[in-house]
Structure 1
Amino acid sequence: MYQGNQLSLSRLDNDIVELNFDAKAGSVNVFNNATVKELTEALDILEAAEGVKGLLVTSGKPVFVVGADITEFEGVFTQPAAEMKVYFGVNNNNFNRIEDLPFPTVVTINGFALGGGLEFCVACDYRVMADNTKIGLPETGLGIIPGWGGTVRAPRIMGLENAMAWMAGARQQKADAALAAGLVDKVGPVAELRELALQQLAEAQAKPSDYQARRTVKTSALDVSPEQAKEQAEAAKAQFCARAPHLKAPAAVIDLLANATGADRAQALDMESDLFNELTKTDQSRALIGNFMNDQYVGKVAKKLAKGSNLKIDQAAVIGAGIMGGGVAYQSAFRGIPAVMKDINQDALDLGINEADKLLAKKVRQGRMSEEKKAEILSTITPTLEDKDLNGTQVIVEAVVENPEVKAKVLADLEDHIGEGGVLVSNTSTISITRLAKNLKRPDKFAGMHFFNPVHAMPLVEIIRGEETSDETIADVVAYSLALGKKPIVVNDCPAFLVNRVLFPYFRAYELLIRDGLDMYRIDKVMETWGWPMGPAYLSDVCGIDTIRHCQDVLATDLPDRMSLVEPSVMDALYQQKRFGQKTDTGFFSYQQDAKGRPQRANDPAAEALVAECQVNQVELTDEEIVMRAMLPMAIEMARCFEEGIVASAPEADMALLWGLGFPAFRGGLLRWMDELGVKTICEWSEKFSHLGEAYKATDGMKAMAAEGKTYY
């Protein structure tokens, strides 16, 4: 009947027509412009066909439809609202046509059906889902809402409360949850999906009143009073919006769902379209969609680099069973790569194994792993005190104490144990890779691999290219990082590399704010209100004051013009009192563990006294000025890194901070924030605070960008 490049129509027995999504040029199906065009053409043919008694919708891919093609939206979102309504209205009309066909429709959902893919499914009369499939309406995670009728049909199928939870939560949902919510009608093994769907279609054909009644419900007002809708909206906001108070889209979609309960399909679709168009014009949607695009870009860069690797990783080794080393060993074993964990201290080895056991036990408690699987993974970590157990290992990760002399000696000793073609890496947060390579016989087979703590939870791995590191070695280390399930970003060697080099000006800026008499609690509150998950004082305690002081010394030596130590230094005052933060239960705050063993902070008069001793000035600043004084040195240092070629692209620079520091996702990364604010505005703030030193002075490159109106994206 119809054969396109994205989908086809064909007649089956019993006057049933099959609509099959199967993109010829891609590994998955997406709702891009080509798919929308072909669906329009296929529906023209289907509506004109005679004798059709049912529609079966399937996918020829391992997934149904993963959603809309976000890459096509960026340009569209800049158009006027009227033009956007026309653009998105084509597929909205298609879904209405599916819903209005004069015969029942059944869709089989396999693999994934997300966003627009699921919106197509809810336009059908019945949904049959494979038991290993995930579905969802995650648009609020991109700063927008479902725009093809999802907010209209989902609440009328699954109820208002469920729809609010699914859309505001933006999470993927498993088959059992979808069945319990009433969004799907049948669940079964993927091999039986087609048979289940045909059975469902036969049942619908035998009783037309059933699917007709479903359509009446989907196109009519919801049977919910305004009072009930308001009550459910308030409950949903309390549950979902409190977790991310900065995000606009979750609260907006909840309000839309509540306000549209009394509307019919046409009215509700108009309300959805108006809000969708409004949200696409916000800085948050630009940032969050930008993050999505950046994630895709960085992933492609990593995969391309990894293709240059011929490394066969049968075993990895970690030297040093401390927090980082033990974390790397656990992550390696968890991802199916046996790991040798070597230390010179049996107690350290025991601590490393116990930590791995604790992480695995948590998965068992959560029902995400069996005891047998836990035992199997633990058995692949080999603790040892003997160097000979390292022989022939393809990847050796040095993770000993952050001391250049100690690391250099350990690395030189490790070279002889690497298997043929293998690589040696150092997990360091500050020490120059080029410097550490000086005494190695094969500096070309050596690179930095900066993991972030805790290793199992933090996605980023900074891969540092030394002056003599070969392209093949970079490819090998990227491939190993991907095998660990991490997100690698390659940077060139420089003091503290990328993430810490950009972070530590923020800590220094905080010390200057304290020196100038600002209240420590107010600073934390202002920066958390701006978007950081924790203010600089709390962040310092989490990172460790001792770690921060060590890094400050390194950077003050390497970059003295703008990273010199602040006098008086509140970090040093805490350090001298051995108030290292959460690790010692005292820092800027004091800590006690709750019933689940999680540290809970409390204000501490002793810390307040130490802070007060460092406040030698009394400067009045607005909240905006506090934000700019804290953020400017970070922004300027990132600009320096970008100009110096430390990081290759804006997407890699921004994702490094999102993944490594928890930079506010809704701001889209540091460079995107600079673009949104305007480089010219950044330079104007720089002029205002230039008296604070070199760290606050915009680069020549920034000034040129400001003059020419250029942006990083």
Structure 2
Amino acid sequence: MFQGENIKVLPLTGGFVELRFDRRDESINKLDRRTMAEFREATACIAAEPLVRGVLVTSAKDVFIVGADIKEFGELFAMPERELASYTLASNRAFCAFEDLGIPTVVAINGFALGGGLEMALSGALRVMASSAKVGLPEVNLGLIPGFGGTVRLSRVAGLKTAADWIAGGKPASASSALEAGVAHEVCEPALLREAALVLLRRAACGEVDWRAEQQRKRNAVSIQESALADALAAIEDRAIQADRRHLPAALMAVNLLRDALALKREAALQLESEVFARVAKTQAAGSLVQAFLNEQHLKKQYRSLGQKSRKLEQAAVLGAGAMGGGIAYTSALSGIPVLLKDIRKEALDAGIREAERLLARQVKAGRLKAESAQTTLAAISPQLDFAGFREVDLVVEAVVESVEVKKRVLSEIESELRDNTVIASNTSSLLIDDIATGLSRPENFVGMHFFNPVPAMALVEIVRGVHTSEEAIATVVNYAVAMGKSPVVVKDCPGFLVNRILTQYVRAFLLLLEEGADFLQIDRAMEAFGWPMGPASLQDVIGMDVSSHVVDVISAGYSSRMPQMPHNALRLMVSLGRHGQKCGLGFYAYERDAGGKLAKSVAPDTHALLSKLQRTGDRTFSDSEIVERMMLPLIVEAAVALEEGVVASAAELDTALLLGIGFPSSLGGPLNYADWLGMAEVVRQCDWYAGLGEAYIPTQAMRGMARDGARYYPRVSKAEIRSAMKASQPHRVKDSSITR
């Protein structure tokens, strides 16, 4: 009846047809431009056939439809806002045409139906879900709102509160939750899905199910009292307001849209949705979050490529049962890779196992893990005081004390206990891999593996390539990190590697501001208002002043021209006074446990007086914008230098590392994406304004060249590319008018 590249319409018995999503040469279905064009044509073909009694919608993939093709967003979002709104509304008409077919339609949801996938399903009259399937509208996670009618249809199908919760929260819902919300009409076992959907379709066609009423309520306006409206949205709106304050406006825009569109009929509501979608798509947050998603996909593609070169991973080992080593062992076991946990002290091993038990108990309590699975995970950690079984391990992670001499001694001892092809990874945050590797007989098997603390919670792992490190060793460690659910980024061996090196410039900018008389409270407020989860003073308290001071000194020594010594800085002062931050109850701030055991922060009364001893000229007034510029510019410049030096291979990897590693504001998308948003000419102009503050503020020659040429780290999409893409989206189809009655 219809055959395109991604959609087929196939005749079934009894006068029914099947509209099947089956994206050519792909494992999943997406609603890209071509698929949408085919969907319009397929719907028109069905509408033109008077003998068709009903439509079954299916997917030939393991998922239903995962949403739009995000790779197309760059071209779409380059359109002017009004043009983007018109384009979105025109796309919506395809769903309206399907919704307005004069016959019943049943959508069989076999797997994930996310974003546009759920919006397509909502345009059908009835929905049957496999018990394993999930549905949701996660667009807010990309800084967007649904654009294919999700705000209009979901609020009328499931009610305002559910719609607001699903859309502003962005989390997928289970089949049982969808059934309870009225989004699914039936739920069945996956093997029974097709037959259950066909039975429902036949019942609808025979008039046993009022499918017309299901469709009509999506066209109508909804009448609701103002008090009920406020009650439905109160808690969700509060969360959305908090996100908006972090420069993530999508959730609040979605809540306001839901409120405004409820009283409108379908066409007017869709018009409003298209306008708000275009508006939010043009925000900095949307551009940043979409780019961050594309960067993550770039990394996943690299992981798949490296995975082909990896050695087989069946057994791991960890040396050192401290906080880091214990966390690594727990995460390894949780991911299904058994691990030997060795330490020289039984007390350390006992503490490591107790911590694993605590973390597993929390998982069980939260419902994320079954009790028997927790026991299996715990059994996969083998605590030991000797090297028994180390001949069988494929990879060893060393996590002993942060000392070159200690690490060299431990690694030299362990190397003789391993097979010749076992990979050794050192978990170090500040020591050079090549320094640790001296003395190893097989340095090609040695690599850095910098986990961030706490290991179970932090996604980033820096994989550090030494001079002698083989590609196979890199691939093996990357594969291990991915298996643990981490996001590894491969970096070159240098002081601070990538993330801590760039963070050091940010911390040094903070210390310099304090020396010049800035108020640490204002700095924290300004940077938090800018989007950071916490200000730099709070961050030092969390890290620990002693740890941060040591790391800043070590890394700065490696880049003496851009990071000259700061002998009398606030970190050293705090350390000299024993004010190490949260862990001792006093740093820049004071900390006490409340009645519930939660750590409460307050302003320490003497901090300003202490910091005044460092100030060169007493207190000085700074504007918030000046504070932001002075904090962010050294970070941007150091990121640019690191990329130019080949510390990391791409802007995508660098920005991902900073987003995952230090809580860089997600609304900015990473330092290089933020530089693109400012424009390199503006970055250079600001740098030149602050050039007197030191080399940290001096842009590279490459940056000046980018400013001159209007270049970017992430190239813009041209108008010609947009026109070409639109032309390429035209469907290629084959029509066949045969209907089996």
Stretch deviating more after TM superposition (380-389 or 127-136): 380-389
2: CA distance between counterparts of 1:63 and 1:668? 29
User: CA contact under 8 A between 1:552 and 1:565: conserved in structure 2?
Assistant: no
Counterpart Cα distance in 1 of 2:205 and 2:39: 24
Look up the SS of the partner of 1:219 in the other structure. Answer: coil
How far residue 613 of structure 1 moved from its aligned partner, in angstroms, is 2.8
| 1:236 paired residue number | 236
Q: Deviations over 1:122-146 (max 9, x none)?
A: 0001111111111111112212211
**Equivalent residue number for residue 152 of structure 1:** 152
Structure 2 counterpart of 1:127, one-letter code: R
Conserved 8 A contact 1:165-1:240: no
C-alpha separation between the residues in 2 aligned to 1:250 and 1:352?
41
Report the equivalent of 1:49: 49
Given that 1:230 and 1:258 are in contact with CA atoms closer than 8 Å, whether structure 2 keeps it comes out as no
Q: What is the deviation of 1:565? A: 3.4
**Aligned AA for 1:369?**
L
Cα distance per residue 1:498-523 (max 9 Å; x no partner): 00000011111111111111111111
Other-structure match for 1:225: 225
Question: Using a 3 Å threshold, how does the CA distance of structure 1 residues 263 and 315 change in structure 2: closer, same or farther?
Answer: same
Q: Is residue 363 from structure 1 mapped to residue 363 from structure 2 by the alignment?
A: yes
**Could you tell me which residue of structure 1 aligns to residue 551 of structure 2?**
551
Aligned twin of 1:254: 255
Per the alignment, in what secondary structure is the counterpart of residue 391 of structure 1? Answer: helix
User: What whole-Å deviation, never above 9, does each CA across 1:235-287 have from its counterpart, x for those lacking one?
Assistant: 42113432563211111111111011111011001101111111222222111
TM (norm. structure 2) is 0.93
Q: Which moved more, 1:658-667 or 1:579-588?
A: 579-588
Check conservation: 2:132, 2:174, Cα contact below 8 A.
yes
Q: Give the whole-Å Cα distance in 2 for the aligned partners of 1:18 and 1:381.
A: 51
Conserved 8 A contact 2:244-2:252: no
CA contact (8 A) 1:464 1:493 kept: yes
Map of 2:694 onto structure 1 = 693
Identical aligned pairs, as a percentage? 44
Q: CA deviation at 1:662?
A: 1.3
Report deviation, 1:82. 4.7
Rounded Cα–Cα distance in structure 2 between residues aligned with 1:216 and 1:657: 49
Answering whether residue 459 of structure 2 is matched by residue 459 of structure 1, we say yes
Q: Are residues 1:679 and 2:680 paired? A: yes
| Corresponding residue number in structure 2 for 1:273 | 274
Conservation of the 8 A alpha-carbon contact between 2:30 and 2:69: yes
**594-603 or 49-58, which deviates more:** 594-603
Instruction: Decide whether the 8 Å contact of 1:392 with 1:420 is kept in 2.
Output: no
Aligned equivalents of 1:598, 1:643: Cα separation in 2: 44
- Provide the rounded CA distance (Å) in 1 between the counterparts of 2:284 and 2:551: 34
User: 1:63-462 maps to which residues of 2 (within 5 A)?
Assistant: 63-207=63-207, 210-226=210-226, 228-230=228-230, 232-243=232-243, 245=245, 246-309=247-310, 311-462=311-462
Name the residue aligned to 1:573: 573
Q: What secondary structure, in the 3-state scheme, does the structure 2 residue paired with 1:161 have?
A: helix
Kept after mapping to 1: 8 A contact 2:82/2:278: no
Structure 1 length as normaliser, TM-score? 0.97
Mapped contact 1:418–1:424 kept (Cα < 8 A): no
Task: Confirm whether residue 602 of structure 1 aligns to residue 602 of structure 2.
Answer: yes
Rounded to whole Å, the distance in 2 between the matches of 1:289 and 1:28 is: 20
What code does the residue aligned with 1:553 have? D
- The answer to whether structure 1 residue 471 and structure 2 residue 479 are counterparts is no
Q: Which residue number in structure 1 is paired with residue 667 of structure 2?
A: 666
What is the distance in 2 between the residues matched to 1:209 and 1:558?
A: 73
* 1:483-503 CA-partner distances (Å, limit 9, x unpaired): 111111101111110000000
Q: Give 1:659's aligned amino acid.
A: L
Moved more, 661-670 or 177-186: 177-186
Task: Quote the residue 2:635 is aligned against.
Answer: 634
Q: How far is 1:578 from its partner?
A: 2.5
Q: Cα offset for 1:562? A: 2.4
The residue type equivalent to 1:530 in the other structure is F
Select between 697-706 and 286-295 the one with higher mean Cα deviation.
Answer: 697-706
Amino acid at match of 1:672: N
* Residues 463 and 488, structure 1, Cα contact 8 Å, conserved in 2: yes
Residue range with higher mean Cα deviation, 184-193 or 265-274: 184-193
Distance change in 2, residues 1:666/1:438 (3 Å): same
Ranges in structure 1 where 5+ consecutive residues have no aligned partner:
none
> Matches of 2:594 and 2:131 in 1, distance apart?
38
CA distance in 2, matches of 1:592, 1:339: 37
The count of aligned residue pairs is 712
Listed as ranges, the gaps of 5+ residues in structure 2 are: 715-741
CA distance 1:553–1:239, change in 2 (3 Å): closer
Change (3 A) 1:298 1:192: same
Contact 1:394 1:420 in 2 (8 A): no
Q: How far did 1:616 drift?
A: 3.3
Contact 1:396/1:424 (8 A) holds in 2: yes
Contact 2:504-2:556 within 8 A present in 1 as well: no
One-letter identity of the residue aligned with 1:303: R
Q: Is the 8 A contact 1:555 1:564 kept in 2?
A: no
Alpha-carbon deviation of 1:205?
Answer: 2.3
Q: Tell me how far apart the structure 1 counterparts of residues 184 and 103 of structure 2 sit (CA, whole Å).
A: 19
CA-to-aligned-CA distance 1:27-56 (integer Å, 9 cap, x gap) = 001111221122122112111112211111
Paired with 1:398 and 1:556, the residues of 2 have a C-alpha distance of 25
Contact 1:463 / 1:490 at 8 angstroms: preserved in 2?
A: yes
Equivalent AA in structure 1 for residue 367 of structure 2 = G
RMSD: 1.7
Following TM superposition, by how much is the alpha carbon of 1:221 offset from its aligned partner in structure 2, in angstroms? Answer: 0.3
- How far 1:209 sits from its partner (Å)? 7.2
3-state DSSP of counterpart to 2:580: coil
Report if aligned partners of 2:126, 2:214 keep a CA contact under 8 Å in 1.
Answer: no
State the Cα distance separating 1:91 from its structure 2 match.
Answer: 3.1
CA contact (8 A) 2:89 2:271 kept: no
